[in-house]
Structure 1
């Protein structure tokens, strides 16, 4: 297990810091990921670490930005240490979808596939169980 896991997971309240999935419903711990990957001169500093579910972490990979069709430019991904989730995302409780309400939110939702069929189906269940957000 990552040596930073306990500290990072507690700070994140055991939720993915990107899609807000609750760690408790999975049968394994979430991953400690580098917001700015080491391959892009990121560090192991606490300010560069986030808790991420496997889905978000795999899809993010070593990227830090993506092409925004709305902004017609490269836009950085949501940064859990610098940004407030509620300023960039909105949950639609009826559908279970997460909407990006800023270019940062839109790019993050798209590239991390936060509204894949499996993600939305799980989120609908978590909402019904009172576990989301």
Structure 2
């Protein structure tokens, strides 16, 4: 874990509009502080600079860990995760009835590893949608 200055954390949060840059839930009322994720982990040569940081909910940060990507079922090719600095969320994901669906291989692998659609997360996302917060 690396130290991230409070001023840099605030810049990352503001840029993300205080939403997880992976699953898009707002940090409003989440109950657990959001974190700043190294998109490319330090152990993989990533730096603690604004262009390599993402505002991240605790669930996405835990499931992502220091991984850079994964494979889809029955595949041997490594597919990188969605990168909030270089990719457009709507191009890789869609939301139907609270379920986030991957539109691309990057989206599909991210949905799977980050466990976007665990029952608790879908239920929470549906509540946010009902209350026009998602």
**Within 1, Cα distance between the matches of 2:9 and 2:52?**
13
SS of the residue corresponding to residue 126 of structure 1 reads helix
| CA shift in 2, pair 1:19/1:48, >3 Å | same
Task: Give the alignment's Cα RMSD to 1 decimal.
Answer: 1.5
1:96 to 89, 95, 98: 98
2:40 to 36, 41, 44: 36
4+ runs deviating over 6 angstroms: none
1:21 alignment counterpart: 25
TM-score (norm 1): 0.93
1:85 alignment counterpart: 89
Gaps in structure 1 of 5+ consecutive residues: none
How many aligned positions are there?
Answer: 130
2:107 to 99, 105, 108: 105
TM-score (norm 2): 0.92
**Within 1, Cα distance between the matches of 2:24 and 2:113?**
16
